[in-house]
Amino acid sequence: MAGKRVSIFEVAKAAGVSHQTVSRVINHSPNVSPATRAKVQAAIDRMGYRPSSAARALATQRTKTIALIAGGVSYFGPLATISSIEGMARKHDLYVSISILNDHEYTQEAFEQVANACLEQGVEAFVFVAPTEPMVQAALGARIKVPRVLLTSSHGGTDIESVIAKDPNIACLGIDQWGAMRTIAKHLASLGHTGALYLAGPGDWRDAATRRAAWEHESAAAGIKSDVIEVGSWSGEDAYQRMGAYLDALADPKADMPTAIVAANDMQALGVRRALYDRGFYVPRDVSLVGFDDMPGVDNAIPPLTTISPDFSNLGVAAMSTVFSLMGGGDPVELPLRHGVGVIGAPLVVRESTAAPAAR
């Protein structure tokens, strides 16, 4: 059979059954006796038969294909989540059709074109990795009748909760950013810090909006006076420049600067660390430093970085479990809700970059 695709009719002939029986075995129909199923499966294995996905879709009216439309893939979190989704889909014999959108060139028209192309291929559900506000608005407003799961954050300009209440085919999941920032605030307060700087991320990202709102609320609740440095991006280089400018503007940096710094992500934290080093500051002797994301390598920074470690893998698993549930294939995933978004925990990993503030 080398070099020639084996047909279902050849398998049926070899097994001494009809091609309809072979089809039932392939599609896991219960209407086949164990003996016949074993005989057909033996022929399939012996002959190396692989069913045509197109033929199977015509026969079952199912393509077993999930469309994944993603933005923000230049960053660690979205990439880790996408990898988990794809792996989970493979385990359940589903195909994932991945489309990448550049969030800086994003338009509603571009989104609709991609979504419509996926629908023409017969996708059975959508997963949207939607970190920015425009992506969330488009994903929620798209004219899609198949189930859709959005991966985003809980706070921003769009009222996710009211949209979900009107459409049972939509679900939103994300990392518990708010709970994570509360953990940071409590950790720093427990060490004795009463003042901190917070470096904000890009305003059009819901992650950045949620983290900032949470930090401002939770730091105040923990008795920490906080000032904000506007960075406007996730970039370590931008954080380095902004932190350097802040320090250079202080009359006496070591006396006037707060004793803790919280960055919106790990890349910013590394930029802050460099700006501090350039000016003779030592972490954590002179100032404690906290990041967010637990990117590969930050455990070997100098010093190893205290940071939030989001469970991106579990987020991908929960996303696919939610897809299965919306498609009628299982029970819904039970997660705590924040503004309509089911959230996955994000613990604080305490390393050597935080300590009690030194006397000044």
CATH of the domain at 113: 3.40.50.2300
Q: In the prediction, which pLDDT does 146 show?
A: 84
Q: Using one digit for the tens of pLDDT, what is the confidence trace for 200-227?
A: 999 889 999 999 999 999 999 999 999 9
pLDDT at 197 over 60: yes
Do 195 and 270 lie in one domain? The reply is yes
Do 126 and 39 lie in one domain? The reply is no
Q: In the prediction, which pLDDT does 145 show?
A: 82
Q: In the prediction, which pLDDT does 1 show?
A: 39
Q: In the prediction, which pLDDT does 47 show?
A: 83
Domain boundary among 60, 79, 102: 60
Domain boundary among 288, 310, 332: 310
Q: In the prediction, which pLDDT does 2 show?
A: 44
Residue 358 lies in a domain: no
Do 182 and 304 lie in one domain? The reply is yes
Calpha distance 87→93 (Å, rounded): 10
**Rounded to the nearest 10 degrees, how much is the dihedral formed by the CA atoms of 159, 160, 165, 166?**
80
Do 183 and 279 lie in one domain? The reply is yes
pLDDT at 173 over 90: yes
65 in Cβ contact with 123 (< 8 Å): yes
359 Cβ neighbours under 8 A, 6+ residues apart: none
Do 306 and 326 lie in one domain? The reply is no
Q: In the prediction, which pLDDT does 60 show?
A: 45
Which ranges constitute the DSSP H helices of the chain?
Answer: 8-15, 19-26, 34-47, 53-60, 76-91, 108-120, 133-141, 160-166, 177-191, 206-221, 236-249, 253-256, 266-278, 312-326
Q: Using one digit for the tens of pLDDT, what is the confidence trace for 67-112?
A: 888 876 667 777 788 887 877 777 777 778 887 777 655 667 777 7
- Number of Cβ within 10 Å of residue 43's Cβ equals 21
The more confidently predicted of residues 49 and 32 is 32
The more confidently predicted of residues 263 and 359 is 263
Q: Using one digit for the tens of pLDDT, what is the confidence trace for 50-62?
A: 665 444 543 444 5
Do 39 and 88 lie in one domain? The reply is no
Mean pLDDT of the chain: 87
Q: In the prediction, which pLDDT does 63 show?
A: 63
Q: In the prediction, which pLDDT does 44 show?
A: 86
The more confidently predicted of residues 22 and 265 is 265
pLDDT, mean of residues 105-128: 78
Do 76 and 168 lie in one domain? The reply is yes
Q: In the prediction, which pLDDT does 293 show?
A: 94
| Bridge partner residues of 197 (DSSP) | 227, 261
Residue 352 lies in a domain: no
Residue 47 lies in a domain: yes
- Among 53-67, 170-184, 190-204, where is mean pLDDT lowest? 53-67
Do 50 and 71 lie in one domain? The reply is no
Residue 153 lies in a domain: yes
Do 134 and 115 lie in one domain? The reply is yes
32 in Cβ contact with 60 (< 8 Å): no
Q: In the prediction, which pLDDT does 58 show?
A: 38
Do 155 and 43 lie in one domain? The reply is no
Q: In the prediction, which pLDDT does 103 show?
A: 60
Range of the domain at 30: 8-60
Q: Using one digit for the tens of pLDDT, what is the confidence trace for 292-312?
A: 999 999 999 999 999 999 998
pLDDT, mean of residues 221-242: 96
Residue 2 lies in a domain: no
Q: What percent of the chain has pLDDT over 90?
A: 46
In three-state secondary structure terms, 128 is strand
**Rounded to the nearest 10 degrees, how much is the dihedral formed by the CA atoms of 234, 237, 242, 245?**
180
Give me the sheet containing 288-292, strands edge to edge.
225-230, 195-200, 260-263, 288-292, 306-308, 348-349
Do 203 and 303 lie in one domain? The reply is yes
CA 285 to centroid of chain Cα atoms: 34
